[in-house]
Amino acid sequence: MTHYLYLVRHGEHLDAEHGLEDGPLSPRGRRQAARLADRLSGVPLDAVWHSPLERAAETARAVAERLPSVTPEPSALLFDCIPTGMLPDTPAVYEPFFGSYTAAEIEAGRAQLDDAVAEFLVRKGDTHELLITHNFVIAWFVREVLDAPEWRWMTISQAHCGLTVLGQRPGRPWTLVAHNDLAHLPMELRTGLPESLPV
């Protein structure tokens, strides 16, 4: 009786290379989503939740085409967001990243992800839920399960349509079963990871 959460970053969106924040999936993003759908076709999903942003909603629809028994539902708890600013133990190398975010945006992001953790990281019995969301949201869930320092979400990256799995058995804490599994994606479809990570 294990509760599984399958966390997926949306597919590549069409205007990502031009710096636009949202948009439909690119042709490559649609191929990523189709491969993800094939990968999940044998999973007995009970629910599919997705960020309301277009790139996540379209990825969810691709999965639903192969899993007609589930209807994707949007959740504002899965929006892209920034959950912290600079913290006392955050390495100084990350400080420039936060320059374009306001205190209000960070406060809202933290409140959202606190609510998301309270909503989804709750034992629900023998359940399989898919969350199609964004890189930072998945990083926060992984950090939470590993009980890592809060700033560590910045060091966790997820490729487009990479698959992360969390599981909880009765009487046990949540476990990171798999992170950023890309076995369903050939090399030419593996996008979204930084070429080099900051130290």
pLDDT of res. 8:
98
Domain CATH number, residue 16: 3.40.50.1240
In this prediction, residue 20 carries a pLDDT of 62
The whole-number pLDDT of residue 160 equals 97
Look at residue 42 and tell me if it is in a domain: yes
Q: Is 56 within a domain? A: yes
SS3 for the chain is CCEEEEEEECCCECCHHHCCCCCCECHHHHHHHHHHHHHHCCCCCCEEEECCCHHHHHHHHHHHHHCCCCCCEECHHHCCCCCCCCCCCCCHHHHHHHHHCCHHHHHHHHHHHHHHHHHHCCCCCCCEEEEEECHHHHHHHHHHHHCCCHHHHHHCCCCCCCEEEEEECCCCCCEEEEEEECCCCCHHHCCCCCCCCCC
Domain-embedded: residue 189: no
Res 69: pLDDT = 84
Look at residue 195 in the predicted model and tell me its pLDDT. Answer: 64
Domain assignment of residue 154, given as a range: 3-178
Q: What are the per-10-residue average pLDDT scores of the chain (199 residues)? A: 96 73 89 96 94 96 88 97 96 93 97 98 91 98 97 96 96 96 96 65
Please check whether residue 187 lies inside any domain of the structure.
no
- Is 196 contained in some domain? no
Is 74 part of a structural domain of the chain? Answer: yes
Asked whether residue 57 is domain-assigned, the answer is: yes
The number of domains in the chain is 1
